[in-house]
Amino acid sequence: MRNKILIIEDDKELALTLKDFFEENALQVWHASSGEEGLSLYYKENPDLIILDVVLPDESGFDVIADIRDKDITTPIIMMTGTEFDEDNQMRGYDGGANNYMQKPVYPQVLLAQIKNILSLPKDLLHYKIGGMKIRLHTQYIEFDGKSHPLRERDFEILTLLFQHQGQVVDRSVILKQVWKDDRADNNGLLDAAMSRIRRIVKEYPTVQIKTIYGVGYMLTDKINSVTSR
């Protein structure tokens, strides 16, 4: 079965060049020339990976990725731009959940290599570094420097969100919408129970900390670097 790629790019010449090249290399490709059309195709086709231009005619790529990441933390997104490549915009892209942020002109062969590399990674095995430790996060366990702890599926999804936004506050409403697909108040007890289970694991590792930001959400931090950087 061929992997499905969605290109959201208003430069039709570039988009069709990439589409033709990817299709010649056994990928199934859809193209949208605006953010609205891209989101419509995203919901309809459920692509394996998205290539997203930053500057679009109706809304920015940052708006599009925010809409997607509000509900979906797993679909890889590669952002690209010809003009918005300064440090602030790169950080904005990565903070928004981009897997890569590329400057145009892009080379089809290089982009294809990135796509193949991203899609070859196991979707249920993620790697992180924090507090001087190597972390392996799996749907069934979390491993800190070789010591493994069993996980429930929703605890895995919460930890994935926290690790992807290290040092940033993740709102409770975002966690509820992404993990339970519903931010109703009666799901708060389920989130509290999940965080209690996660904290019992993390407390064994004094360099890793999950802070509660009261009335807002949670933040996972590297305790060593957060202290030394003051």
Mean pLDDT (the chain) is 89
9 & 113 share domain: yes
Please say whether the beta carbons of 79 and 38 come within 8 A. no
Helix (H, G, I), strand (E, B) or coil at 61: helix
Q: What is the DSSP letter of 177?
A: I
Same domain flag for 165 and 190: yes
Q: Is pLDDT of 178 > 50?
A: yes
Same domain, 191 and 210: yes
How confident is the model over 82-110, as pLDDT tens digits?
Answer: 988 888 888 888 878 888 899 999 999 99
- Quote the number of domains for the chain: 2
Q: Are residues 142 and 220 in the same domain?
A: yes
Residues recorded for the chain = 230
Q: How much is the CA Rg of the chain, to the nearest whole Å?
A: 19
The pLDDT-based confidence of 63 (bands split at 50, 70, 90) is: very high
CATH of the domain at 166: 1.10.10.10
Q: Do 39 and 110 fall within a single domain?
A: yes
Whether residues 221 and 145 share a domain: the answer is: yes
Residue 80 and residue 104 in contact, taking contact as beta carbons nearer than 8 Å: yes
Structural domain harbouring 24: 4-120
pLDDT tens digits for 191-218? 999 999 999 999 999 889 999 999 899 9
The pTM of this model reads 0.64
Tokens for 23, please give them.
């299709």
